[in-house]
Structure formats: C-alpha cells, structure tokens
Structure 1
Amino acid sequence: MTSNTSKLLLITGFLGSGKTTLLNRLLSLLEAKKVGVIVNEWGAMNIDASLIETKGEDQIVELSGGQIFCSCLSGSFVESVVAMAARGPDYILTEASGLAKPSVLSSIIAEATKRAEGRLIYDGTICIIDAERFLTLRQAVRAIDEQVVYADRYLINKCDLVDEARITEIKEVVASLGPGKPMYTVTEAKINAEILTGDAQSFTMKPNVRYKGWGACGRPSSCVLRTTSPVDPEKLHAFLIEAKRFAFRLKGYLPLAPEGLLHLVDCSDSQISIRPATFGTGGKREEGLVVIGKKLAPPNQEVITGWKQQVGTDIYIEE
C-alpha cells in the first residue's frame, strides 16, 4: 500500500434508513482527513448531495438515475472512484442508493482497484438498518436482505422508536444473514470511530442467484414532481399521507405558502418531515420532489391524481 492510498468505504441501507445522516457523522469523525464523497441517487435529482457537509478541499461527485451496482451507473462509479483516488484523499466515502443491489460488489471493486494502480484499497461496507421498517419491508423488497448480506458492519438505526423485543428480532435476522459481523444499535446514526475499523469480507463474496430480481414489488420506478407556485403546508401534508400508499419515498425541496421559502420534504411510510431548507456545502440546490414508487411503472398518474385531490395547484411531472 502506497503512502497516498485512499480507503474506499461504502454506505448502504434502504430508503429513509439514515444514510445521509451517517455520511455526515463520518465526515465529522474524519474532519482532520482529506475526504472524497460520492453520492448515488435512484431518482433523476440528487437531493442528498445538497445535505452533505464537506470541507472546502473535499470533492463531491453526484451519480443519479439508477444504482452504482447496475450497468447503468457502475462504469461511471468506477471512473469516479479512480479519478478521485488519483487526487490522493485519505478516504472515499460512497453513499449508495437506497435501492442498491450490491451482489456484484466484488467485480466492481476489483475493477476500480485494478485501474487505480495501487492508489485504492477497499475498506468495507456499512449497512444502516431502519429498526422501524426493516422486518416489514424485507418481505417485499429483495434488495434489503441483499444489502445486509453484502456488508461488513451493521448499524441498526432509530432504536429509540421501537421496543427491545423488536431490536432483538432484528439482531437475530441480521446475524443469520451476516454471521459474525460487527453490529451496533444507535439513534440518529450517532457513531464513534469504532465503526471505521473491521474486515472487508464483502469483497470476496460472489453474486448469489437468490438475490436476482427485485422481489414482490418489482423494480421500483421514480418521477419528479415540480410545482408552479408555493404550496399550502397542510394540503401538502395531506398529499404526503395519501402518497405513502403508492410510494416508498418522497424527498426534495418545495416552496411553501405564503412566503414561498424552500422547505425540505422527506416522507416514507413511517414518517413525514417538512422543515425549512438548510443546505450543506455539497451538491446542487434544485427544486422538486422525487417520488420513488412501489411499482414497475412510474407513479406519474398516482402523483397527479393525489395532488389534484389534496392540493389542487398546477404541477408537472418529469421522469
């Protein structure tokens, strides 16, 4: 290993599990280090990049419109990692899409390591698990178990929102999928430096046909909702309650009435958050709401119908 070798650390976890919060926690831990960041979003807009707190010398790369373990983005991911490693950061932190399917991890890491010519070492994958939703969602979305299997360390997050019996059950499931690997229970993705240590066993794991495909819900699709005027907060909240029926996640920035100030909207089946936008130092600041649906076809019509019934203002939809 050369003196300027970069450590590549991946973060996986389903939509809404706390990956971006964890990434910011890691950046705080690595404040004295030079860090590169890659943020992967399933939808066309990269919301999470705008929430990341990087230092002035840190580099951030956005990869949107798919997941980095798919042929649609894996080439761009490898190129980004190799280019970033050439700049000599201590760490390259990668936040994968919440819908990442990492069973092909070993071949992608092998290609990146080879092309980096000694400037890159794989430091493992941290999978963050949503204690509220994990046991339910894993029944429908195959990628959830796949993310656990192909990780090296586990962070069971939001433990303050469930009882001890639920945490014990989650630990048993995770231990059966990834026996012998470190496991931490936390709230709000609060971590210490211990999370940065451990083996990178996932590099040696081969694809498993068990995780081929997407499961009962099929491959999720997405669209972007854009408004033409500020939105009434109460009507927006009513729309989000309706949207939980057909969407795994809604996240983005919308202007709220009466002032038209941008707010961060973040909704999953377990929570709704609407708060004034406070941007990090990374990424672009783009207005719109990414909707990740539960079906193969984009949720365009459900979005239009729900918005018309609950809000009533004009919108347009992009895929």
Structure 2
Amino acid sequence: MESANTQLYVVTGFLGAGKTTVLLKILEQLKGHRVGIIQNEFGKLGIDGTILRNDDIQMVEINRGSIFCSCLKLNFVNALSEMAQQDFEYLFVESSGLGDPSNVEEILQAAQAVSGKEYDFKGVICLIDAVNFMEQLDDLETVYRQLKHCHLSVITKSDLVDNDRIQELRKKIREINPVCKIEISNMGELDYGFLREDLLLYQWAEGEETTNSEETKPKTLFMDFEGEIKKDVLVSFLNEMIPYVYRIKGFFKIEGQGWSQVDVVGSKIDFKECDSCEKSQLVFISKIGPAIIKKIFAAWEDKVGLEMKLRN
C-alpha cells in the first residue's frame, strides 16, 4: 500500500451548525495542498456547494438525502472510490445536517473494495451549535448519534453564548461521548492543530446501523420565485414558517438591496450579500412531513401574495 494515502475527514453537525463556514476556514489553512470535497446536501439545490466551489477545489455533490442512508450509500461509495483515483492529499466529506454517521467505517471499507485504494481515515468532526444544540438533542436521535460517533467535537457560535452555556455544553458532550477531543470555534475559526493529530485515538463508539432510512427521511420542498420583494415582507413569511421547519436556506432577490443568501436556523434569520442568481430559490426541510406544503402556500399568500412555484 502506498504511504501517501489521502487523509480523509468526515464533517458532521446538525443543520445550521456552521459546517460550510468551518470547512472554508480549514481550506484556507490547507491552501497549496491538493484538496477534494464530497458534499452531501439534503436539498438538491446544492446551495453550500455554490459557496464552497472554486478553481482549486475538486468537488462532488450528493443531494436529496443522507450519504449514510441505504438510498444514497452506493452513490457515496462510488464517489469515494472515484476520488481515491485523484491523488488528493486531503478529502473532506461534509455530511448533510440530518446525516447519522454511525456506519461510516463500513462505507469506507466498501469504497476500498471498489477502488482498490485505502484512505487514511483521520476521524469524524462533529460541530455543536452552541445556541441550538440542547433543543436539537431533545428533538432528534441524529444529533445524539453525530456526537456519539465523532472523534473531535467543535462548539460553534461561541460568540453568541456566555461561559455558563459553554460549560453546560461541555458537560453534555462528556455525557454522550466521554473521550472525544473538544474545541471551541468563533466565526468558524478554531485551533487547527487537529490536522497534525491522530484523532482516532479519541474513538468512543463502535460502528452500528445508521438511523437514516427512506422511512425517516424528512420532507424537503423547493420554492422558485421570479420577482423581488421587500426584506421585511420576506422576514414576515419566514417567521411564519419557523415552527414547522428544521431549516430554510437559499438565495433571494431583495427589493432595493439585490441578492442575498438566506439562512434560517432555529428562530434566527440571517441575510448575507451574494452573487446574483437566475431566480430566487428557497429549500424547506420539514418537521411536519407533507403538511408543510399547505403551511407554505398559506403563509406566502397571506404575507406576499405573488406567484411562486413549489416542487419536491
């Protein structure tokens, strides 16, 4: 076996924990190295892929589900085996926020069998949203599994909480994963020393069957809108939807302001200036199954009242 096997990291963390932000910062640290990314988005728009993409990075996107689910596992194995031929120094897999990585090592073994090449698996990095983690943990087995099966946990958005909250999070992390390394991140910045460490020394849980399946896959919907609306009108619509979704994100043309990247996590709505797009698009990941369709139409009609298209 060649000594210069590609170093592989898997990045997990629930929707909105900051995976893309942290990954961008890690890529800055590795400038000049040959780096590949496999990105797994639940919504097929590949919004985070648009943000990450540049000429120096080779990227594969796997959308419409979790790469750990039987519905996409073969796609993931194929992507890993294809990337193994590219002679990267580093490969990062950014999992969907709804991904349960309990079976990641089984998938890596399958990829090795297909490609004949072995990855130097460096570990799973789990991002912990300092603002929303405790509530997410109460809601979803996925959040528990992501932390249980990680080697490095990174508490993100630390600038938005006080020290008591950080200590509470540390305690909760230790209840679920007594051995993983813990780092604190502010605006995506963290101690990058882990890139020179063997994170597998912090292994806690043995591999197990993932909870991701066709049956547990949340309903995802996509909105297309051709016009532009005032920001306060869009905010009013988004606030109406917050109780029924895990996440809303996309790109939208705001009247008098131009194009914005829209990101809704928990009760927080963020807007960030972005490049222009062909049309406004939003992805909704539902907490309430197909019932979300009626809620979107009702809220849009009430708050906006202009024509839009909704699709699966």
Question: Normalized against structure 2, the TM-score is what?
Answer: 0.92
Partner of 1:111: 110
Partner of 1:8: 8
Q: How does 1:265-304 map to 2 (within 5 A)?
A: 265-278=262-275, 287-297=280-290, 299-304=292-297
Which stretches of structure 1, 4 residues or longer, exceed 6 Å deviation after superposition? none
Partner of 1:233: 231
Secondary structure class of the residue paired with 2:123: strand
For residues 175-212 of structure 1, the C-alpha deviation after alignment (integer angstroms, 9 at most, x for no partner) is: 1211121101121121232132232365972216xx74
Please report how far the alpha carbon of residue 240 of structure 1 lies from its aligned counterpart in structure 2 after TM superposition: 1.2
Quick one: distance in 1 between partners of 2:51 and 2:304? 27
**Aligned in 2, Cα 1:311/1:298: closer, same or farther, shift over 3 Å?**
same
Runs of 5+ consecutive residues of structure 2 not aligned to the other structure: none
Pairwise CA RMSD: 2.2
**Aligned in 2, Cα 1:277/1:154: closer, same or farther, shift over 3 Å?**
same
Query: Is 1:171 paired with 2:164?
Result: no
Quick one: distance in 2 between partners of 1:73 and 1:107? 14
Runs of 5+ consecutive residues of structure 1 not aligned to the other structure: none
Quick one: distance in 2 between partners of 1:9 and 1:203? 17
Larger RCO (alpha carbons 8 Å, 6+ apart):
1
Partner of 1:187: 186
**Aligned in 2, Cα 1:223/1:135: closer, same or farther, shift over 3 Å?**
same
**Aligned in 2, Cα 1:306/1:202: closer, same or farther, shift over 3 Å?**
farther
Q: How does 1:1-319 map to 2 (within 5 A)?
A: 1-54=1-54, 56-196=55-195, 197-200=197-200, 205-207=206-208, 212=211, 219-258=217-256, 261-278=258-275, 287-297=280-290, 299-319=292-312
User: Given residue 242 of structure 2, which amino acid in structure 1 is its aligned partner?
Assistant: K
Please report how far the alpha carbon of residue 301 of structure 1 lies from its aligned counterpart in structure 2 after TM superposition: 1.4
For residues 195-230 of structure 1, the C-alpha deviation after alignment (integer angstroms, 9 at most, x for no partner) is: 32232365972216xx7479xxx6422100111311
Secondary structure class of the residue paired with 2:166: helix
> Hey, which of these two has a bigger chunk of helix by percent?
2
Secondary structure class of the residue paired with 1:297: helix
Size of the alignment, in residue pairs?
308
For residues 226-281 of structure 1, the C-alpha deviation after alignment (integer angstroms, 9 at most, x for no partner) is: 1131122110011111111111111011222247x3221111124211232148xx
Please report how far the alpha carbon of residue 3 of structure 1 lies from its aligned counterpart in structure 2 after TM superposition: 4.1
Quick one: distance in 2 between partners of 1:295 and 1:198? 41
